[in-house]
Structure 1
Amino acid sequence: MKHLITPIALAASLIAGTAQAQETFKVAYIDPLSGPFAGVGELMLSHVQYGVGEVNAKGGVLKGTKLELLKFDSKLSAQESQNALQAAIDQGARVIVTGGSGSSVVAALVDAAAKHNERNPQSAVIVLNHSSIDPDLTGKRCNFWHFQLEANTAMKMKALANYIKKQPDIKNVYLLNQDYAHGRQWARYGQEMVTLARPDMKFVGQDFHAIGRVKDFSPYISKIKATGADTLITGNWGQDMILLLKAAGEAGANYRYFNHSAGSFPGTVLAVSQSRIGQLTWVAEWHPGQAEAPKVEALAKAYKAKTGKEFLAPRIEFTPLMLAAAINKAQSLDTLKIARAMEDLSFESVVGPVRMRGEDHQLLIPQVVNTIAPVDGKTVKVGWEGTNYGFRTDAIYSGNELAQGTECKMVRPQ
């Protein structure tokens, strides 16, 4: 006897087929989209969106599953980030992309994700951290579900210390940093590593200030001037860096600044150009106009053509691409299998080969020491942010050269 397909059954099968064809793998972006660092959060979001678009343009993952990006505002708050995490999980997200909220917020988010995963292994989530660089996140507080896609504080400071070793004009250093986990780490590693590199130097003072709350840095500049400092090691970023440069310029304070990523934030080059004094040296996997990185330059042009925005952070753009590589390596959308595939994953990125170290989930990624400087047609060929200031390459170090030991004692799920 033949089986008859009723109109209702046929409709149901068509609906099911359509649903299957439209199935996506959800990724949630949780970073500041309001408040003093909203511009930073929006720029990072744009990079993630572009990377997701690249993955989907190539057919997605596992021969057809597209990535779907959800976005949430962390409001630079640990509590808001945890609320956003729960909302993302409820909406079906299985990977969280974050990092622009500060290390203390990201640490709280990782802890919350780990607790959720322990209670709900069927809906476990992975945290991909693109910018929060506290070494504890891949050290004594390492977690199987967390992956660090940026060089950590110790790696960045090692690159700067190697450079400072060859700068004899630096003699008196002041430590000025934001008062949160990463700011204190930047100050500590700065004092330790730079002292090893240049034991003849003096540290003449130190201050910590509330993150994102100081409107006028003039009192800090006055205090620093009184110490005779010629150099600041500062972890300030975003508006805190811009306002610091503004106050120093208005006071005629011609300092050298050593920072982890300030040049990648909108408005920083403009602030340097307006102050007309001071040298801001920072470190990242790439800087705009870098002659040694033609692949990134090509990507930057394509990104600007599509988004209308300047490209600043290759690691954020290739975060979704590394996720896709891990999914395809795992041949599964199960997050436990994806996390295991991410461990020791080697990936050919636009800044060169990188590797996710399995023992602590720290990405080994190149770092370029560079200084914001006037265009001279030789070392600086391209102006930035509508100014005649761009970026000068000072030194380049591989991820392996900057790799540090780790205190991580990774506990892996059974």
Structure 2
Amino acid sequence: MKTISKMSWMIVLVSFAFAFSFGPWGPAEAMAFAKPNAVFDVNKMGDMSDFDPNNPVIPTGDTIKIAIVASFSGPAALVGQIYFVSVQWAAHDINKRGGILVDGKKKLVEVIKADHMSKPDQAKKICERMVLQEKVHVLWGTNGSHLMKVINDVAEKYKTIAQCTAALSDELYDATNFNRYSFMSSFSTDQIGRGHAYYYGQVRKKEKKFYILCQDYLFGHQMADGFKHGLKLYYPDAKIVGEDYHKLFLTDFAPYLTKIKASGAEVIYTGDWIPDAANLLKQARQMGIKLPFAHIFLDEPNFLHEVGVEGTKGLVQLSQFGTENPTFKTPEQIKYYKTWNNLWKTKWQKPFNTRLYEHGTGNIGSYIQQTYWLLSVIERAKSTDPEKIIKVFEGDTYQFVNGKIIQMRPCDHKAIQDLHVWEFVPPEQQKASFNIPPYYWFKGTCSAGKIFTLPAEKVLPLMDRKLERCKGKNDWGK
């Protein structure tokens, strides 16, 4: 079995020393990136009026089986809940259309919950059960790169497709850990760090003093490494005035926040996800720290409403589900949004009737569209045979509902895409982004107003040129 070098029981701390060069956005690359092989078409959606995440319609028998390998219990159980409603939405839509023609037969999509309980040993057990007993075709995950590593190992051993939609560490796809059965359709830590640095150094050009506070495992350390890498490239005048790492599921951030308060920092940079994200922001505001956070996961609306409008001003989120303002550019995009939002308003009950699920955008929107991309690949492969899926997925381009185009780099299975930065503003300024009634995302908290595009060529995924498949390739994989 392949191993990660350090802290393998959690997620590994590694400093990348790979050769890294940015290829230009030349005519060939631009043309390839601009023309998707497949497009999400709102007008082809099935009747979603009966979609209810509390009472999901899940087919059985001879189906296309997707196992969501995630935390469905323990302190991160909310994450599994988010993943389930996202994947089940896409599956329900495809099933209402009649399924997908694979191997000469129309088949429906079956979604199966696989609880890894945030534990590596349990992740291995549940993945093997999914493959060997449930006969799943895809392992979809997950919250935790150490757990995604386990998923990928199982996928390789049993020649099963794995889709990495939410574990963000670049090391998962380096020369040591890459396997051809796993595809990273999400953004990654080095892209995120460079993206934030590009925004502060090349777009905003104001704050210069940053304090890094991240979770103490591979993801958190690589988030920090990516940001430091980005500052060297795009903002050499900036200064890191402090750097700390805390254990997962921490309840008392006071020692760290006290240091931040005394550091002279102008921005706090973090990769924290819930529940840590909520505790960090709420405790910072309670201690009188009004600094902006540069983040990716401090966006859960329920805890943002607890902090309120004043406490959420100036948050800066880097998103993989962004688009240029305004958000709604076509009647089809409005139709798609209202299909979700109307069900939230009229049908769904707890826990899916909270503000977290109101819009179906942001990270939830990304998980949904990544799943549609997977199902589109299977449809075009006309098979659940992993080799046929790999052939289509490598180098594929797909257009999301919001117009965003994403491309799978063939040599290391990492996603190339534009990223976007959202500046959080009060409700009366959110119209710049939310351009349909009521002209704001939320009334009780700040949310996206100004949106800035980070071009793909500035945030291309990190490539390990020690990986034999990538030797001689530029950062576009050409």
The answer, yes or no, to whether TM exceeds 0.5 is yes
**Structure-1 separation of matches of 2:409 and 2:383:** 21
* Preserved CA contact (<8 Å) 1:373 1:380: no
Residue equivalent to 2:460: 403
Give the alignment's Cα RMSD to 1 decimal: 2.5
Residue equivalent to 2:295: 259
Distance 1:40 1:299, change over 3 A: farther
Q: Pick one of 216, 233, 239 that aligns with 1:196.
A: 233
**Structure-1 separation of matches of 2:303 and 2:321:** 16
Report the alpha carbon displacement of residue 283 of structure 1 after superposing the two structures with TM. 1.2
**Structure-2 separation of matches of 1:167 and 1:267:** 28
Report the alpha carbon displacement of residue 262 of structure 1 after superposing the two structures with TM. 2.9
**Structure-2 separation of matches of 1:254 and 1:411:** 47
Residue equivalent to 1:82: 124
The amino acid of 1:108's aligned partner reads V
* Preserved CA contact (<8 Å) 1:380 1:390: no
The amino acid of 1:360's aligned partner reads D
Q: Pick one of 417, 421, 429 that aligns with 1:369.
A: 421
Residue equivalent to 1:43: 82
**Structure-2 separation of matches of 1:196 and 1:329:** 39
Alignment of 1:44-123 (within 5 A): 44-62=83-101, 64-89=106-131, 90-99=133-142, 101-114=143-156, 116-117=157-158
* Preserved CA contact (<8 Å) 1:129 1:149: yes
Residue equivalent to 1:8: none
Distance 1:104 1:205, change over 3 A: same
Residue equivalent to 2:448: 391
Report the alpha carbon displacement of residue 287 of structure 1 after superposing the two structures with TM. 5.4
Residue equivalent to 1:6: none
Secondary structure at the aligned position of 2:421 is classed as: strand
* Preserved CA contact (<8 Å) 1:371 1:394: yes
The amino acid of 1:304's aligned partner reads N
Identity fraction in percent: 23
1:154 matches 2:190: yes
Secondary structure at the aligned position of 2:204 is classed as: coil
Residue equivalent to 2:385: 334
The amino acid of 1:23's aligned partner reads D
User: In the TM superposition, what whole-angstrom CA distance separates every residue of 1:42-80 from its partner, at most 9, and x where no partner exists?
Assistant: 012101100111222222111611111111112112122
Distance 1:405 1:274, change over 3 A: closer
Report the alpha carbon displacement of residue 401 of structure 1 after superposing the two structures with TM. 4.4
**Structure-1 separation of matches of 2:208 and 2:322:** 27
* Preserved CA contact (<8 Å) 2:416 2:461: no
Residue equivalent to 1:316: 367
Q: Pick one of 129, 134, 143 that aligns with 2:164.
A: 129
Structure of larger gyration radius: 1
Gaps in structure 1 of 5+ consecutive residues: 1-20, 118-123
* Preserved CA contact (<8 Å) 1:368 1:393: no
Alignment of 1:222-241 (within 5 A): 222-241=258-277
The amino acid of 2:95's aligned partner reads N
* Preserved CA contact (<8 Å) 1:249 1:277: no
Q: How many corresponding residue pairs? A: 382
TM-score (norm 1): 0.85
Report the alpha carbon displacement of residue 292 of structure 1 after superposing the two structures with TM. 3.6
User: In the TM superposition, what whole-angstrom CA distance separates every residue of 1:135-168 from its partner, at most 9, and x where no partner exists?
Assistant: 1223332221111111112222222212101334
Report the alpha carbon displacement of residue 321 of structure 1 after superposing the two structures with TM. 2.0
Distance 1:202 1:401, change over 3 A: closer
Residue equivalent to 2:27: none
The answer to which of 374-383 and 337-346 deviates more is 374-383
User: In the TM superposition, what whole-angstrom CA distance separates every residue of 1:392-414 from its partner, at most 9, and x where no partner exists?
Assistant: 233113445421451162679xx
Q: Pick one of 300, 303, 314 that aligns with 2:340.
A: 303
**Structure-2 separation of matches of 1:385 and 1:143:** 42
Q: Pick one of 273, 278, 284 that aligns with 1:248.
A: 284
The amino acid of 2:262's aligned partner reads A
Report the alpha carbon displacement of residue 385 of structure 1 after superposing the two structures with TM. 5.6
The amino acid of 1:157's aligned partner reads G
* Preserved CA contact (<8 Å) 1:383 1:389: no
* Preserved CA contact (<8 Å) 2:209 2:239: yes
User: In the TM superposition, what whole-angstrom CA distance separates every residue of 1:3-62 from its partner, at most 9, and x where no partner exists?
Assistant: xxxxxxxxxxxxxxxxxx952111111111122221222012101100111222222111
Distance 1:277 1:388, change over 3 A: closer
* Preserved CA contact (<8 Å) 2:325 2:451: no
**Structure-2 separation of matches of 1:37 and 1:387:** 25
Distance 1:70 1:241, change over 3 A: same
**Structure-2 separation of matches of 1:178 and 1:305:** 37
The amino acid of 2:305's aligned partner reads L
Residue equivalent to 1:142: 178
Higher relative contact order (CA 8 A, sep 6+): 2
